[in-house]
Structure 1
Amino acid sequence: MKSKYSFLICLFLLLSFFSVVQAAENPQRTEVIVFHAGSLNGPFQKIANAYEAIHPEIKVVLEGSGSREAARKVTELNRPCDIVASADYETIDTLMKPEFAKFNVFFARNKAVLVYTDKSKYGNEINEENWYEILARPDVEYGHTDPNLDPGGYRAVLSLQLAEKYYQLPGLYQRLENNFHPTNIVNDGKVIQEKLHAGQLDYFFMYESSAKQGGYHYVKLPEQLDFSSLEYAGYYQQAVLKLTGKAEGSFVEVKGQPIIYGLTLVNNAPHRKEALEFLEFLLTDGQEFMNTAGFIPINPPQVREDEMLFLPVELQHVVKGL
């Protein structure tokens, strides 16, 4: 009888031990929710993994999409969110401020490129001098993301507008538009990849960081067309596109400008304290992951001088006023 009780006690202690271990491995973790541009998928996942390794009590929940779509998840769908990071800082300015955000931190730059694969028609012929001639060929399928959801989409269209001016070829933009099929507007990164590798899409406008991470071949565009240069900021503004606005039925005009990524803390962030701690990490140690992924980090990150008043004290030592 004694040995029977001893066995039960040992079994109870063993089960208790495993319960404690399991609880330790799966503690109640606070979730920091981040809606971000799809082009940030790679580096943000690595930044989140690095942060969670030193903060096991935090779970960083990442949700990538087009930048304008990410903002509208907050402004129109009222989804809980702590941080929004956009591939175009103006998305935060025009869709989120001031009702949903008070400041906008500029933290990275990028450039537009044209990607292709071994399945792409004329892939062995295309180069930096003839890319627009290739896209205008009737048998070529080229695509981009939805301009109303993603800055990458409207930057593609703006690049084509600027190409007509840069190459001094009247009617080029219309030729390229006439050869574009609306079905080639694709927003899902996996679908884009599948279509390119299957030869259903020959070329796709993308950011250089995404092209590098995806292992694509790509054509670099002239600086006057790729939105990478602060020097050509005035030149970029010659291209203009009308997009859907903040209110239903309204429209806004976007002009070409250098690619500058912006991020913000949502006004009613459900986990403000934890989100700010993650943001501090992202804007300091996290910048190395941005650099490795092919972005051009803005170091130190910047914010407009008049927004410094709204910048949380936790970030004031890592962000510089413009």
Structure 2
Amino acid sequence: MRSQGDTNGAGPTSRRTLLAAAGGLTAGLVGTAGCLGTADEVRVLAAGSLAAAFENGVGPAFETDAEFGYAGEYYGTNAVLRLVVDGTKHPDVVIGADVALLRDRLYPDHVDWDATFAANEVVVAYEPTTTLGERLAAGEPWYDVFADADDGEIAISDPDVDPLGYRALLLFELAEREHGLEGFRAAMADRVAHVADEPRLLAGLENGDRACAVAYRNMATERDAAVRRLDDAYNFGSRTRADRYAQASYTTERGHTVTGSPVVYNATVPADADDPDAGRAFVSFLLENEALLTDHGLRVDDDVPRFHGDPPEGISP
């Protein structure tokens, strides 16, 4: 059986390793590929940015409400989808942080419907005691601060396995256009450090290894990190700016080209789920309990849930 380390560095985080995600998320134990959960549990394979919200909120509440336990694993969305496509895992629920990416990779062979249920935005998290952090706290433009950073002072997640990683690079490109910063994306791409495991992205701020990180807003909220919010023109948080975001693109090392898009999460139950009844019960619960998401820094807009394809009986608008 292949170990979890075989997913190009996109390490998993499970309930056993997320003992205190909101106050100091640490990762230790690693599961084994193909062995997600046990009987009478819903097995959820989800984007890494949802780890704390699901382990500390959604999962426990679902266990209290339903007849199933909860077993979650979290990776960058590219890695999540690859595990499903490759047949390495057969989860009951798949959740991604890029709507188009999930549909491109899983339709029509693995799924024929999905539901969008929450949104997010990209922010700059920082450690206020660092030089860069002091400048951000003083109100200097974030792009001027980033331009003066040393190699490795700023962290992003791995753009080849995680939408947050490539959104960071697209952020640099869109900011370059917005503010006339010639060569900004290329310079930042050479300067930032890549963190393979999204749930560990902000740990570098806490242990003194990094000054800043490009993160999702909910991740910074969970870790109580100092945050510089970004303009809607490039924070991937505005659905009305979707056309603008799509002007930037990134091609992964595997040759897959992605374009910028708003940060929206979608969930589905794969056709080969081990327990589709558990999967449908979890998705229904997720759609009906938006406070569990907003309490953990996610945004639930008035126009969700939205469905693509025909959801099964019991999951409806």
Could you tell me how far 1:37 is from its partner in structure 2?
Answer: 0.8
SS of 1:185's partner is: strand
Could you tell me how far 1:88 is from its partner in structure 2?
Answer: 0.9
After superposing on structure 2, the runs of 4+ consecutive aligned residues of structure 1 that deviate more than 6 Å are none
Aligned in 2, Cα 1:233/1:191: closer, same or farther, shift over 3 Å? closer
In structure 2, the partner of 1:313 is 313
Report the structure number with the largest CA radius of gyration. 1
In structure 1, the partner of 2:214 is 205
Contact 1:119–1:197 (8 Å) recurs in 2: no
Supply the distance in 2 between the matched residues of 1:275 and 1:161 (Cα, whole angstroms).
38
In structure 2, the partner of 1:188 is 197
Supply the distance in 1 between the matched residues of 2:238 and 2:94 (Cα, whole angstroms).
24
Supply the distance in 2 between the matched residues of 1:274 and 1:174 (Cα, whole angstroms).
45
Aligned in 2, Cα 1:298/1:268: closer, same or farther, shift over 3 Å? farther
In structure 2, the partner of 1:215 is 224
Deviations 1:220-248 (A, max 9, x none): 1111010111221111111111125xxxx
Identical residues among aligned pairs (%): 26
Aligned in 2, Cα 1:275/1:147: closer, same or farther, shift over 3 Å? same
Could you tell me how far 1:190 is from its partner in structure 2?
Answer: 5.7
Deviations 1:189-208 (A, max 9, x none): 56434322222111111000
- 1:25-40 alignment, distance < 5 Å: 30-40=40-50
Q: 1:276 aligns with which of 280, 283, 287?
A: 280
In structure 2, the partner of 1:76 is 86
Q: 1:131 aligns with which of 129, 142, 146?
A: 142
Amino acid at match of 1:229: S
Contact 1:224–1:235 (8 Å) recurs in 2: yes
Supply the distance in 1 between the matched residues of 2:206 and 2:167 (Cα, whole angstroms).
23
TM-score by length of 1: 0.80
In structure 2, the partner of 1:263 is 267
Q: 2:51 aligns with which of 22, 41, 45?
A: 41
Supply the distance in 2 between the matched residues of 1:143 and 1:193 (Cα, whole angstroms).
8
Supply the distance in 1 between the matched residues of 2:76 and 2:53 (Cα, whole angstroms).
16
SS of 1:218's partner is: strand
Which blocks of at least 5 consecutive residues in structure 1 are unaligned? 1-27
TM-score by length of 2: 0.82
SS of 1:99's partner is: coil
Contact 2:120–2:216 (8 Å) recurs in 1: yes
Aligned in 2, Cα 1:74/1:59: closer, same or farther, shift over 3 Å? same
In structure 2, the partner of 1:290 is 293
Deviations 1:16-72 (A, max 9, x none): xxxxxxxxxxxx9512100001111122221121121133x4111111111111111
Give me the CA root mean square deviation: 1.9
Q: 1:50 aligns with which of 53, 57, 61?
A: 61
In structure 2, the partner of 1:152 is 164
Supply the distance in 2 between the matched residues of 1:191 and 1:235 (Cα, whole angstroms).
30
Q: 1:99 aligns with which of 109, 112, 115?
A: 109
The count of corresponding residues between Structure 1 and Structure 2 is 276
Amino acid at match of 1:67: T
SS of 1:107's partner is: strand
